[in-house]
């Protein structure tokens, strides 16, 4: 772990995080009402969670195809004969690429994970070529996994109290298969929200050149179009004393088993943070936030026992460091030009 001092969450902190996971743009006054604590305390607690790095960012949960991303894929790299310092520099260089929105350092079967998101095939090819060239002779294995879906799970790994907040989707989920109609102002709005979804309305209106009423209309439109599902937060587990692990699963193409597994994780495993569903040998990759390797092993064993007939193969990797975790690429880069 990189953090010498672990932040301890009290009851109010845990309630604040639980609400913000599904409603990150809620006003602090409304947040205080929801968790039934006084406004000054909640405001102070929220600011401390941000200052201490517990809340890394506020961001929209957005459907990639809606902004023009037609290709998104996981890339797993295995390296050899490279020092820790050289690997760290390599990863930092890769993180500068705007089409690589997730960049992790791993320990296990692979050393690096990248999430590549582009519109055009040439951008994808050029980015993959750049990665291979930058790795050079250190590259042993380059595994490309086309992505079917990326989705949050329970995400309440920190919650030690009995506290639930009802969240009802404003509109039924419809999976987008192509980009929605956006103009230059929409693109500015979405790129601002990408950096800080907690941005005040007045500041967002100024950045986009819109009146507040017109801005609110557009924000509501994104929800109605299923472009934005809701607003959330990225929590840094290391600050809270947790580590992240990736569990790779092969379920032999059993669609029903995949759906049952995801349902089980959402309802029963609070340490399950989010998952990727890939089209390939490794079909499901789940991120867990846990206190120890032993806890990860216990969770894995429970899953393997429950789905022992469906799971053909598995692999566990430790996330040593998240160098980059952007919610989506800059819309101005991926939205169709014509």
pLDDT of res. 168: 75
Whether residue 88 is predicted with pLDDT greater than 70 in this model: the reply is yes
Mean pLDDT of all residues belonging to the chain: 96
pLDDT band at 333 (very low <50, low <70, confident <90, very high): very high
Domain residue ranges of the chain, discontinuous segments joined by +:
7-52
pLDDT for res 60: 97
pLDDT of residue 337: 87
Neighbours of 22 (CB within 10 A): 20
In this predicted structure, the answer to whether residue 2 has a pLDDT above a threshold of 60 is no
pTM given for the model: 0.93
pLDDT at 172: 86
Whether the pLDDT of residue 5 is over 90: the answer is no
Percent helix, strand, coil in the chain, to 5, is: 40, 25, 35
Determine the average pLDDT of the residues in 242-255: 97
> According to the model, what pLDDT value does residue 166 have?
81
Residue partners of 35: CB distance under 8 A and separation at least 6: 12, 15, 16, 19, 42
Give mean pLDDT, residues 95-99: 98
For the cut 90, the answer to whether the pLDDT of residue 161 exceeds it is: yes
Per-residue confidence band for 4, with pLDDT thresholds at 50, 70 and 90: low
- The 10s digit of each residue's pLDDT in 291-319 is 999 999 999 999 999 999 999 999 999 99
What is the structure's pLDDT at 7? Answer: 97
Which of 70, 23, 64, 263 minimizes the C-alpha distance to 150?
A: 64
Residue 318: what are its φ and ψ, rounded to 5°?
Answer: -95, 135
**Residue length, the chain?**
338
- Annotate 53-112 with DSSP letters as a single string: TSEEEEEEEE-GGGGT--EEEEEEEEE-S--HHHHHHHHHHHHT-TTEEEEEEEESS-SE
Three-state DSSP class for residue 205: helix
pLDDT tens-digit profile of 227-239? Answer: 999 999 999 999 9
Taking the domain 7-52, which CATH number applies?
1.10.10.10
């Amino acid at each position: 772990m990189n953090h010498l001092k672990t932040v301890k969450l009290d009851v109010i902190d845990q309630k604040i995080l639980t609400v913000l996971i599904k409603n990150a743009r809620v006003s602090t006054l409304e947040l205080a009402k929801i968790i039934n604590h006084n406004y000054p305390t909640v405001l102070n607690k929220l600011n401390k969670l941000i200052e201490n790095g517990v809340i890394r960012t506020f961001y929209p949960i957005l459907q990639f195809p809606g902004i023009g991303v037609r290709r998104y894929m996981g890339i797993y790299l295995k390296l050899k004969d490279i020092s820790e310092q050289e690997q760290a520099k390599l990863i930092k260089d890769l993180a500068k690429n705007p089409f690589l929105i997730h960049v992790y350092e791993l320990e296990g079967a692979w050393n690096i994970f990248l999430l590549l998101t582009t519109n055009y095939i040439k951008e994808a090819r050029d980015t993959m070529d750049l990665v291979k060239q930058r790795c050079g002779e250190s590259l042993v294995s380059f595994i490309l996994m086309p992505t079917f879906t990326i989705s949050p799970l329970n995400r309440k790994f920190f919650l030690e109290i009995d506290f639930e907040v009802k969240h009802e989707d404003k509109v039924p989920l419809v999976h987008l298969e192509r980009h929605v109609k956006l103009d230059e102002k929409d693109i500015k709005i979405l790129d601002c929200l990408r950096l800080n979804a907690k941005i005040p309305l007045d500041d967002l209106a100024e950045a986009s050149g819109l009146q507040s009423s017109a801005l609110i209309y557009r924000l509501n439109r994104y929800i109605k179009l299923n472009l934005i599902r809701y607003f959330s937060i990225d929590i840094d587990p290391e600050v809270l004393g947790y580590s992240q692990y990736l569990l790779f699963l092969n379920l032999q193409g059993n669609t029903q088993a995949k759906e049952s597994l995801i349902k089980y994780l959402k309802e029963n495993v609070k340490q399950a943070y989010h998952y990727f569903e890939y089209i390939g040998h490794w079909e499901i990759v789940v991120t867990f936030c846990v206190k120890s390797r032993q806890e990860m092993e216990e969770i894995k064993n429970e899953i393997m026992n429950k789905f022992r007939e469906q799971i053909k193969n598995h692999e566990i990797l430790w996330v040593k460091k998240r160098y980059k975790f952007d919610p989506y690429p800059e819309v101005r880069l991926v939205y169709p030009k014509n």
